[in-house]
Structure 1
């Protein structure tokens, strides 16, 4: 059970439908969140990614009109990590909000490190989506 959350966000100068479509496709994860691992592959109706700890299974929220991009990562050790993620309309642009959960026993330094990693991923997501070759 998480004991604290940090809500990290980035504004992206692209319509929410474009941002949602890109982020909702697990195959795009290595382009904006390379620290998770890669490549991301679909096998027998499930998504998998090779992480530094081994193969993990990804399960994303079903397609929806509310911008919910939540997903679960089932780690090689069998632990399931729930990742709250949203794409929110902001005029003609989008705000992406990632809720980083602090797990029990996680040190301040580790939580700060994870925060910096997620902030870097969100910045990369903005760069990828705002580039002309996105």
Structure 2
């Protein structure tokens, strides 16, 4: 058995949202709006917010598959930004 510590490859995606932190946090806290269980943060940035989400590569994922999956998140982040900024 190996005792060497290892870390998983990770990718963090960020999107600036022109809404207060409290609004973004409230939206994300509602399970109906955000159903994934992933590490995420919302921090203030001027009058808006930065939403950051980190994905860790499971050992069973190839680098190519992990890259493909995390690339899909860009579309989801754009949708999140649009929904929150439009007030929908």
1:122 aligns with 2:77: yes
Query: Could you say which structure has the greater relative contact order, defined with CA pairs below 8 angstroms and 6 or more residues apart?
Result: 2
**TM-score when scaled to structure 2?**
0.84
Detail structure 1 runs of 4+ shifted over 3 Å in the superposition.
none
Rate the CA distance shift 1:128–1:107 in 2: closer, same or farther, 3 A: same
CA distance in 2, matches of 1:123, 1:103: 25
- For the pair shown, the structure with the greater C-alpha radius of gyration is 2
Structure 2 portions without partners, runs of 5+: 1-5
Cα displacement (A) at 1:114: 1.2
Cα displacement (A) at 1:2: 6.2
Q: Deviations over 1:15-44 (max 9, x none)?
A: 000000001101113xxxxxxxxxxxxxxx
Q: CA RMSD in A?
A: 1.9
Q: Matches of residues 6-25 of structure 1 in structure 2 within 5 Å?
A: 6-25=11-30
Q: Which has the higher strand share?
A: 1
* Match of residue 3 from structure 2: none
Structure 1 portions without partners, runs of 5+: 30-57, 59-70, 73-82
Cα displacement (A) at 1:87: 0.5
